[in-house]
Amino acid sequence: MLLQKREIKAVVLAMLIAVGLCVHSNRAHAAEAQELVVAGGCFWCVEADFEKVPGVIGAVSGFTGGKTANPTYRQVSKGNTGHFEAVKITFDPDKVTRSSLLNLFFRSVDPTDAKGQFCDRGASYRTAIFFSDTAEKDAAEAVKASAEKALGQEIVTPILPLNTFYAADSGHQDYYKSTALVITRFGPRTKAKAYKLYRKACGRDARVRALWGGDAPFAGQS
C-alpha cells in the first residue's frame, strides 16, 4: 500500500511538471512576438493593409522619429514636431518574417517620393523604416536594396533608429473599420466609409499599381 501511494505521488508530480512545462512553453512562444515600425504616409492605410497579412497580430497607428513628447495628431499634422505618421506592427515570426513584411511595405508605398505620399504632402507623411538593433537594420537595408533593384528606380526611404513610439489617440485606431460617424464633404459617413473615400481620392492604390504593377500586394483591397 505504501509503495502504491509513492507511485501515485510520483505520477501526479510528473503530470504537474508536464503541465508546468507546457504552460511555460506557451508563454515563451507568446513572448516571441516581434515588432516592426514603418512610416508609409497615412497611418490609417498602413494599418489597414498590414492587419490583413497572415501572421500579423495587430497594428497600432502612432508617431515616431521626432523630439516632441506625447504629440497629438494635430501637432504632427501642423509640422515642426519631427515625427512621422507611423505604424507599429506586431507579428508572429513563425508565421511571417520581418523581411517578408518589409517587402510588402515597399510595394505598398511610393518609396521614390521624398516629400510625402500621394495626396498627403509634408515631412510627417514621408516613408521610413525604423530599427531597434543591428540585425533589424541589416534586414531593412537588404530588403531596400532588393526592392530598389526590382523597381529600377532610386528608393529614398530612410532607415532610421527607433526612439519612442507614441500611439495615436483611440479615435485614430482602426479607423478603416470603425462604424463611428464623422462629417465629410459628402455628409455624415462612418469612419470606414470615409476612409475608403479618402483612399480612393488620394490616389494611393492607383500610384502603387503604376509603380509596382502586379507586385502591389494591397492595391484595390481596401
What positions carry a catalytic annotation?
Answer: 42
Q: HSE of 190 in the Cβ direction (CA atoms, 13 Å)? A: 10
Q: HSE of 88 in the Cβ direction (CA atoms, 13 Å)? A: 17
- Whole-number Cα distances in Å, 44 to 49, 85, 172, 190, 193: 9, 9, 7, 14, 13
- Vertex 213: Cα angle to 208 and 215 (nearest 5): 90
Instruction: Look at residues 128, 48, 50 and name the one whose alpha carbon lies nearest to residue 82.
Output: 128
Characterise 130 by phi-psi region: left (phi > 0), alpha (psi -120 to 50), beta (else).
beta
Q: How far apart are CA 139 and CA 27, in angstroms?
A: 27
